């Protein structure tokens, strides 16, 4: 081979490589979709046909993003869907995104107001079904933010999730989802700057399927999807994060036995939820997890449950026509403030391991009729059963030490109560400077309470009272200073041990009995029988 021929072949090879490189720098059409091909890594990014109206105007209604594409005999792995890839594609009705795709969209973080036309699925006005197919790696989603702190009040108008302009009806999640995050504004701390989620506020989204491959989903993922009725979660999910299904309309919830934590507000305000099977592995139910689920009247709690958070089931079942008895598992140790406030409970059995009960946790349950408190509970906190106007039967166990203020306030159906011999204090000393009513008293307005037993015990029982403590107008002490049972029509009392009073340091009971309403049983016109035990000295 002569030198000129060799030189020609080398030149042709170089030109060929240059031409090929030039071709690959432009988008390449393969099987109906355009790709940007990276020859160094042999990866492909799905991109748009045209930038603007008419993008993918002739595309099939049902789109499938493959795991691999082949160009000139070379295989490329599809790893990304670019910004604007399907923007203004109004013919696409469904899309299946393969497990090889690691990223959809970029993080658009700008300082000023803008529209969301950069999003990969912007103005896909026919897109109803999305499938993130099963895969090993999480899929990372971009979002649309303006990121500046002013005007921060406009974040909902300008910060958009990935599918914010799509009328989604069905979503399949086959792997973990995460978000591209700005270094100064994490998603966890600032979800509002990420449009809350890819699927936030989808009014037509009715069906969600979460695959056994999924172990974690981000918070707010399906928040305010008000038509979401059908939710299927399989196998591996460990945690339902904050606000994940807040404001949805799931009718029947069944959680897999992999779930260990239901976070704050996870299912709050699912107004159509009628039944919930929590799963056997759940240990923690967070604050407001099911609050506002007003027709939820069939709840099955798992055998691993340890903690129920504040307002977790607030108002649950309050509008239900019937209520299935709720059974607390023996594993339960704590119930938070207002956990079941205003709910539809008809009977309560608090297990023996429960040592912490929050204030008002069962208050205003108008249908509650029977209560059993286990021996692990030492304090009945303020207002725990207040306003339970149908409550008739109360059984308190030995081990109880304190009955706080307003515990049974406005429990107008209770006719008798037995206070265990372990109880050391009933009520607090309410010593204020001005006139007030006596609604803080533990048995305030118990208008049916006729029989009280202070069971035998070793230690004296200390009673609170209701005082205004000031010296002016002292002539009103009988109007405002009340004894413990001042609003109860008592007929029979059993005293099984010594009684003393909580005393104000400046006004002792002995010197100023009028400031204590004179006594717990002062001026009881129907009290006909008193029994004082041999234990009383």
Question: For the domain that residue 169 is a member of, what is the CATH number?
Answer: 3.80.10.10
Is 157 part of any domain? yes
Same domain, 231 and 377: no
Instruction: Record the tokens describing residue 343, joined without a space.
Output: 């709910």
Asked if 139 and 179 count as a contact pair (C-beta separation under 8 A), the reply is: no
Q: Please tell me the distance from the alpha carbon of residue 317 to that of residue 295, in angstroms, as a whole number.
A: 4
- Determine, yes or no, domain membership for 386: yes
Tokens matching residue 196 = 């809350």
The residues facing 97 across adjacent strands are 65, 132
Total domains in the fold of the chain: 2
Q: What is the pLDDT of residue 182?
A: 78
**Cα–Cα distance between 120 and 44 in angstroms, integer?**
16
**Which tops the pLDDT comparison, 381 or 325?**
381
- Residue 335: beta bridge partners? 308, 357
Q: Is residue 325 very low, low, confident or very high in pLDDT (cuts 50, 70, 90)?
A: confident
Output 13 or 68, whichever has higher pLDDT: 68
Whether residue 41 is preceded by a cis peptide bond, meaning omega within 30 degrees of 0, is no
Q: What are phi and psi of 379, to 5 degrees?
A: -130, 125
Cβ(241)–Cβ(261) below 8 Å: no
Please give the Cα distance from 169 to 66 (Å, whole number): 23
- Could you tell me how many residues make up the chain? 537
pLDDT at 78 over 80: yes
Higher pLDDT: 182 or 463? It is 463
List, in order, residues 6 or more apart from 313 with CB less than 8 Å away.
Answer: 289, 290, 291, 293, 296, 299, 339, 340, 343
Higher-confidence residue of 501 and 43: namely 43
Asked if the structure places residue 389 within a domain, the reply is yes
| Residues 433/472, Cβ–Cβ less than 8 Å | no
The mean pLDDT of 314-338, rounded to a whole number, is 93
- Which of residues 237, 258, 284 is at a domain's end? 237
Confidence label for 214 from pLDDT (cuts 50, 70 and 90): very high
Higher per-residue pLDDT: 19 or 279: 279
DSSP assignment of 189-207: T-GGGGTS-TTTT-TT--E
What is the DSSP annotation of 346-382? -EEEE-TT--EE-TTTTTT-TT--EEEE-TT--EE-T
Query: Model confidence at 321, in pLDDT bands (50, 70, 90)?
Result: confident
pLDDT value at 346 more than 50: yes
Per-residue pLDDT, averaged over 383-406, amounts to: 97
Please state, for a pLDDT cut of 90, what percent of the chain lies above it: 71
Q: 139 lies in a domain?
A: yes
Question: In the listed set 237, 259, 291, which residue is the last one of a domain according to the structure?
Answer: 237
What DSSP designation does 417 have?
A: E
In this structure, is residue 242 part of a structural domain? Answer: no
pLDDT given for residue 155 in this prediction: 64
How many angstroms separate the CA atoms of 356 and 373, rounded?
12
User: Does 197 score more than 70 pLDDT?
Assistant: yes
Question: Rounded to whole angstroms, how far apart are CA atoms 386 and 407?
Answer: 6
What whole-number distance in Å separates Cα of residue 292 and Cα of residue 311?
9
Range of the domain at 444: 369-536
Are 217 and 266 contacting, i.e. CB atoms less than 8 angstroms apart? no
Q: Backbone phi, then psi, for 429, in 5-degree steps? A: -85, 110
* pLDDT tens digit sequence for 141-161: 987 776 555 545 566 667 788
Helix H or strand E segment including 19: helix 3-25
Apex 283 CA angle, 205 and 224, nearest 5: 20
Three-state secondary structure call for residue 478: helix
Burial of 267 from C-beta contacts in 10 A (0-12 / 13-18 / 19+) = buried
Q: Check residue 138 and report its DSSP letter.
A: P
Which residues make Cβ contacts (< 8 Å) with residue 187, sequence separation at least 6?
179, 181, 194, 218
Last-in-domain residue among 237, 257, 280: 237
- Which pLDDT value is given to residue 437? 64
pLDDT of residue 118: 87
Distance between CA atoms of residues 313 and 207, nearest Å? 24
Which stretches of 228-365 are assigned E, i.e. beta strand? 230-233, 239-240, 252-254, 261-262, 275-277, 284-285, 298-300, 307-308, 334-335, 347-350, 356-357
Q: What's the pLDDT tens digit per position in 349-387?
A: 999 999 999 999 999 999 999 999 999 999 999 999 999
Residue 336 in domain: no
Calculate mean pLDDT across residues 424-430: 86
Radius of gyration of the chain (CA): 34
Q: Are 263 and 286 in contact (CB under 8 A)?
A: yes
pLDDT band at 496 (very low <50, low <70, confident <90, very high): very high
- Average the pLDDT over each of 115-119, 425-429, 465-469 and give the range with the smallest value: 465-469
> Can you tell me the mean pLDDT for 214-238?
94
Q: Could you report the per-residue pLDDT of 501-517, keeping only the tens digit for each? A: 888 777 788 887 777 77
pLDDT at residue number 429: 72
Tell me whether residue 338 is in a domain: no
Q: pLDDT band for position 191 (50/70/90)?
A: confident
Q: If pLDDT is split at 50, 70 and 90, which confidence band does 21 have? A: very low
**For residue 473, cis peptide bond before it (omega within 30 degrees of 0):** yes
What pLDDT score was predicted for residue 15?
A: 46
User: What distance in Å separates the CA atoms of residue 514 and residue 502, rounded to the nearest whole number?
Assistant: 14
Query: Same domain for 529 and 387?
Result: yes
What is the pLDDT, as a whole number, of residue 190? Answer: 81
Instruction: Determine the number of helices (DSSP H) and then strands (DSSP E) in the chain.
Output: 3, 35
**pLDDT, tens only, 297-318:** 999 999 999 999 999 999 999 9
Q: Would you say residue 265 lies in a domain?
A: no
């Amino acid at each position: 081979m002569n030198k000129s021929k060799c030189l020609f072949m080398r030149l042709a090879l170089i030109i060929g490589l240059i031409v090929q490189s030039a071709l690959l720098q432009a988008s390449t059409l393969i099987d109906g979709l355009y790709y940007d091909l990276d020859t160094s890594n042999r990866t492909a990014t799905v991109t748009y046909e045209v930038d603007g109206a008419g993008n993918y105007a002739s595309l099939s209604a049902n789109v499938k993003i493959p795991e691999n594409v082949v160009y000139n005999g070379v295989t490329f792995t599809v790893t990304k869907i670019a910004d604007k890839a399907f923007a203004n594609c109004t013919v696409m009705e469904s899309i299946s995104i393969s497990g090889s795709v690691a990223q959809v969209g970029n993080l658009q973080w700008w300082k000023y107001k803008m529209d969301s036309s950069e999003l990969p699925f912007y103005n896909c006005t026919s897109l109803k079904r999305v499938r993130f197919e099963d895969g090993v790696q999480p899929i990372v989603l971009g979002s649309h933010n303006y990121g500046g702190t002013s005007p921060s009040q406009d974040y909902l108008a300008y910060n958009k999730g990935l599918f914010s302009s799509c009328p989604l009806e069905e979503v399949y999640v086959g792997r973990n989802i995460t978000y591209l995050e700005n270094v100064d504004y994490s998603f966890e701390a600032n979800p509002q700057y990420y449009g809350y989620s890819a699927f936030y506020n989808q009014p037509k989204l009715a069906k969600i399927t979460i695959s056994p491959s999924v172990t974690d989903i981000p918070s707010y993922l399906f928040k305010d999807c008000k038509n979401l009725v059908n939710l299927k979660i399989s196998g591996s999910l460990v945690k339902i994060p904050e606000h994940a299904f807040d404001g949805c309309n799931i009718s029947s919830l069944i959680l897999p036995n992999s779930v260990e934590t239901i976070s704050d507000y996870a299912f709050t305000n699912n107004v159509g939820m009628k039944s919930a099977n929590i799963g056997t592995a759940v240990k923690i139910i967070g604050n407001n997890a099911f609050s506002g689920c007003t027709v939820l009247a069939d709840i099955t709690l798992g055998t691993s449950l340890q903690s129920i958070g504040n307002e977790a089931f607030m108002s649950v079942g309050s509008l239900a026509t019937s209520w299935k008895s709720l059974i607390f598992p023996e594993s339960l140790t704590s119930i938070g403030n207002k956990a079941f406030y205003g709910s539809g409970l008809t009977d309560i059995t608090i297990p023996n391991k429960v040592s912490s009960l929050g204030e008002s946790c069962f208050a205003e349950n108008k249908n509650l009729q029977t209560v059993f408190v286990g021996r692990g509970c030492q304090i009945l906190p303020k207002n725990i059963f207040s306003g339970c106007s149908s409550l008739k039967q109360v059984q308190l166990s030995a081990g109880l030490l304190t009955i706080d203020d307003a515990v049974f306030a406005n429990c107008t159906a209770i006719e008798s109560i037995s206070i265990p011999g372990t109880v050391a204090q009933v009520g607090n000393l309410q010593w204020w400077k001005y006139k007030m009513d006596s609604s803080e008293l533990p048995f305030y307005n118990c208008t049916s309470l006729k029989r009280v037993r202070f069971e035998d015990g070793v230690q004296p029982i200390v009673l609170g009272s209701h005082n205004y403590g000031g010296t002016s107008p002292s002539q009103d002490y009988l109007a405002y200073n009340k004894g413990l049972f001042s609003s109860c029509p008592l007929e029979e009392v059993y005293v099984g041990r010594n009684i003393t009073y909580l005393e104000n340091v400046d006004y002792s009971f002995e010197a100023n009995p009028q400031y204590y309403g004179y006594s717990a049983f002062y001026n009881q016109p129907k009290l006909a029988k008193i029994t004082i035990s041999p234990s009383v000295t």
